[in-house]
Structure 1
Amino acid sequence: MIIDRERIREVLPYGDAFLLVDGITEASGNTASGIVRDVGEWQIVKNLPEPSSLNYEYVLIDQSTVYPDNFVGIMHVEAHMHHFAGHFADKPLLPGVQNIEAAAESSRDLASLLLANKKGLRSTRLSRIVNWKLKRKIVPGEELIVVGSKSAVEKDLAVINARSMVDDEPASYGTLHFQPLELSDDYHPGKATIIPCHVVEAACQIGAYLILGHPDNHSKLLMLAEVNAAVFLESICPGQELQIRTKLLSRIRRNFGKAGFTVDNLGHTLAYGTFTFRLADKNT
């Protein structure tokens, strides 16, 4: 039996606007599984028609300045943004994955320039998130500054160290890996792909259903504290039904726990990783 979105919302404190999971297929012991069938326009990014080093649309970043080895990006966190209608319905907070996505957008600009000498390069894609720590809540009306620099460049890989700040206060930091997309491979002008960070969020929501469904946790929120590692093996496209499995890897101690996840489509693994979460009271 599949637990539908209406019943999921009875457990999760999300409004419908930010509930990414379409159904829960299992929730017992330390494991939960769910499916993602439909994605909204706000969850995808499209390659632009004309190839260039910066040839995809921005979703979150309002301004990005790229130098040979580093970048600065600006995101105006505004109340009308789609995710605030659901995260959370009565307490708008910028989802942690959107913080990471903002950094990834500007980092991708730099990665494209660093890999520009690769023959046939048309774009780059986020292939890995490493040790990305979220340190601060971000609310509507604030300005998120994202900065980053080159860590390493190899034939088919650009590694970027990045961090975000609000009023000079650290908001998040970590490392992002990018791989090239070639015209003959996975890049097509106008092609739409699902934002990789949203796959991590879907895995978190499935884990949250398992944890917050426990009677002791009904008054809690589950907050993403760190993406320890997330590996995206290929681009994920709208129309693919995703089967996501989230498994608790440790007991919850001092309100912190760790979970692993896998994302499959028709038995083919598209992504996997681990994340650390924190339980917080709803009214804090």
Structure 2
Amino acid sequence: MLNTRQIMDIIPHRHPFLLVDRIEELKPGIRAVGVKAVTYDEPYFSGHFPDEPVMPGVLQIEACAQVGAVAILSLDENKGKTAYFGGISSARFKRKVVPGGDVLTMECEIIKRKGPVGVGKATAKVGDEIALTAELTFVIN
């Protein structure tokens, strides 16, 4: 398991844009599972939406991408590099993610890789319910 400090040693994201609290499973270059406790003090909830706070779908995707970045950047050959978005496909949102109890568990499995480009299959859940699925293309630089 990796804590926040260890995650920040691998990816360049920092508060308020670090969207992963901890990594619970890691197989470098293959897959990672991360967790985000969704709390009311997230800055985006003041405007999305004030009377019914919902974690924006794009931030759910970003959180999954950060988990995938931990997986791919944990390889020795990628240490010190950054994984950038190259594309998002087949994104589907299945349930709202809300503060005050939802814990988002995100899995990203690296399913393709050719040179600096790859694809991760991302799934995020709250409990046993799927919140989102997507394929995320990344470019390592």
Instruction: Give the TM-score, by structure 1 length.
Output: 0.46
Q: How does 1:171-210 map to 2 (within 5 A)?
A: 190-210=51-71
SS at match of 1:9: helix
State the shift of 1:15 in Å: 2.1
Q: Deviations over 1:18-63 (max 9, x none)?
A: 110001000115111010003443333116xxxxxxxxxxxxxxxx
Structure 1 runs not aligned, ≥5 long: 48-189
Higher relative contact order by CA 8 Å / sep ≥ 6: 1 or 2? 2
Question: CA separation in 2, counterparts of 1:33 and 1:220?
Answer: 20
Superposition CA RMSD, Å: 1.5
Equivalent in the alignment of 2:34: 34
Question: CA separation in 2, counterparts of 1:271 and 1:208?
Answer: 18
Q: How does 1:229-248 map to 2 (within 5 A)?
A: 229-239=90-100, 240-248=102-110
Question: CA separation in 1, counterparts of 2:74 and 2:134?
Answer: 23
How many residues in Structure 1 have an aligned counterpart in Structure 2?
Answer: 136
Equivalent in the alignment of 1:256: 117
Question: CA separation in 2, counterparts of 1:232 and 1:42?
Answer: 22
Task: Give the greater-gyration-radius structure (CA).
Answer: 1
Q: Deviations over 1:102-137 (max 9, x none)?
A: xxxxxxxxxxxxxxxxxxxxxxxxxxxxxxxxxxxx
State the shift of 1:242 in Å: 0.8
Equivalent in the alignment of 1:127: none
Question: CA separation in 1, counterparts of 2:131 and 2:43?
Answer: 21
Question: CA separation in 2, counterparts of 1:46 and 1:228?
Answer: 26
Q: 1:242·1:265 contact (CA, 8 Å) conserved in 2?
A: yes
Structure 2 runs not aligned, ≥5 long: none
Identical positions, percent? 23
Runs of 4 or more above 4 Å deviation = none
